[in-house]
Amino acid sequence: MEEAITKGLVLYSRPYKERDRLIKIYTEKYGKCQFFIKNAAISKFAASLQTFTTAELIATINDSGFSFVHDISEVKHYQHILEDFEANAYASYVVSLADIAIEDGEYDSALYSFLIQVLNMIDIGKDVQIMTNIFELQILSRFGAGLNLSECVICGRKDLPMDYSFSYNACLCKEHFDKDLRRLHVQPNVIYMANKFLNISLEVLESISVKENMKKQLRNFIDSLYDEYVGLETNAKKFINNMDNWADIMKK
């Protein structure tokens, strides 16, 4: 048990018994913790502990069981995410990935900071699909997949068109496509853009314009990576897939 002051992001909230709630908060200093809020509807913290809210907490953090909030300050609601249907859907998916990437109670301030950066970008109106792609690619290492999309695994060349091979778990240049006839057969510019997203720093990101066709190809490539290396589709991801299918139907 430890008395703590830490920043945190509210991930989820669910009912507990008749009047109480359990709030999962990703804290900067202690990882993900489950907080017990008694009489949640009339709690002074009710408005401050909504999903997509950040705050500074004074709390008791327990290694096991529930933790407890004593006071909250510096509350920030992600208003655009809360109000915009598409932003909410993609932000929910990003949060769900962060949730499954590490165990509860596991300290990972870098992931916390990166998640906050991406949500900030989405909340100010940056392209939700691009922000999500960047997040997906850059946290794959936490699922044990260390991607290198910049060079051929056979010869190390970086100046030739590339394709991705699950047999080698790496890229092959066109001189070595014959090493894996069942490679993904994605367009070289998809590998190029994915590599750019994999290595880009959000601190220096100003604007990236990506055509819709390229977005779909990137989506398919990243989905293939997640199917192979993660093997888990969250409910939020299923919702996005259904949402995209609805959009395609409406265009016909």
Encode pLDDT of 167-182 as tens digits: 999 999 999 999 999 9
> Other CB atoms closer than 10 Å to residue 232's CB: what's the count?
11
Query: Where along the chain do its domains lie?
Result: 2-77, 81-146+185-251
Residues near 44 by beta carbon (within 8 Å), at least 6 away in sequence: none
Residues near 180 by beta carbon (within 8 Å), at least 6 away in sequence: 165, 167, 168, 172
pLDDT at 33: 95
Residues near 148 by beta carbon (within 8 Å), at least 6 away in sequence: 170, 171
Q: Answer whether CATH 1.20.1440.120 is correct for domain 81-146+185-251.
A: yes
Burial of 242 by CB count in 10 Å (0-12 exposed, 13-18 middle, 19+ buried)? Answer: exposed
pLDDT in tens, 82-105: 999 999 999 999 999 999 999 999
Residues near 137 by beta carbon (within 8 Å), at least 6 away in sequence: 147, 194, 197, 198, 222, 225
Radius of gyration of the chain (CA): 20
Give the chain's residues under pLDDT 70.
Answer: 245-252
Burial 158-190 (b: 16+ CB within 10 A, else e): eebebbbbeeeebbbbeebbeeeeebbebbeeb
pLDDT at 127: 93
Q: Answer whether CATH 3.40.50.150 is correct for domain 2-77.
A: no
Rounded to an integer, what distance in angstroms lies between the CA atom of residue 124 and that of residue 184?
35
Are 53 and 45 spatial neighbours (Cβ–Cβ below 8 Å)? no
**Amino acid in the structure at residue 110:** A
Antiparallel, parallel or unpaired: β 31-37 and 20-27: antiparallel
pTM (2 d.p.) = 0.91
